[in-house]
Amino acid sequence: MSAPLRTLFGLHAVTARLRAAPQSIRELYVDARRADGRTRDLLALAAEKSVRAMSVDAQRLDALAGGTVRHQGVVARIDGDSRRSVHFDDLLEDLPADPLLVVLDGVQDPHNLGAILRVADAMGVHAVVAPKDRAVGITATVEKVASGAAETVQYVTVTNLARSLDALKARGVWCIGADESGAGDLFGAKLTGPLAWVMGAEGEGLRRLTRERCDELVRIPMFGVVESVNVSVAAGICLFESRRQRVAAG
């Protein structure tokens, strides 16, 4: 029995799917009124990949997308089991020499997860690891916000985050928790070599067991009046500094 179809929307997300796995797209709907350049490019790509696009009115698209999201005039129905699945054990076996990973401790906002995947793709992160429970998971909103990065960044779910951190550490991966109580700050941390950034949930931050598993806790120095930034912004800052140090180190 085949898995049910799921919905994907947004120009970037659907374009990425057309490029990566056009065979998984079963239905493609485009706003009949849109004639801008990005929509024309998407239609041209669909034709190139032999995916039929159906012109429909905005009300039909709203209904397909659930009525509460900005779909940008394009909605696709895709195979429900078409997302590339990676098991944590396989991730461990295939780690490159100096992996850069992100471990999320219960991020529940789809906009935050989508933004994290997007910056993870931009900074060359090898995988994002998150718990199966108490976390948002990959949804249509996450895929839209990720602007295609949900198709390119490995998203690995685990049943026990603390045990998974222990397994990473056993493979020589240095686990750094982003925590405002950290003894050191971001600019003093050594961020080359095998590294996993551990980021906490919105509002709650890192849980005690997760914090205790980290090799080091690092705070982001704040130079303005605000005391903190949300988890997706924090991930962007930490990953940029990590990539900067890696490039400088050659």
pLDDT in tens, 17-73: 898 889 989 999 999 999 899 999 999 999 999 999 999 998 999 898 877 568 889
In 82-211, the DSSP E strands lie at 100-105, 127-131, 154-158, 174-178, 184-185, 195-200
Residue 140 near residue 170 (C-beta atoms within 8 A): no
28 and 145 inside one domain: no
> Nearest CA to 118 among 95, 151, 83, 84?
151
46 and 138 inside one domain: no
97 and 54 inside one domain: no
pTM, whole model, 2 decimals?
A: 0.77
Q: What is the CATH number of the domain that holds 23?
A: 3.30.1330.30
Any domain includes 100: yes
The last residue of one of the domains, among 78, 100, 133, is: 78
The last residue of one of the domains, among 22, 55, 78, is: 78
Boundaries of domain holding 209: 88-249
Any domain includes 98: yes
Which two tokens mark 145?
């916000």
CA distance linking residue 21 with residue 13, whole number of Å: 12
pLDDT for the residue numbered 13: 84
Q: Which residues contact 59 (CB under 8 A, 6 or more apart)?
A: none
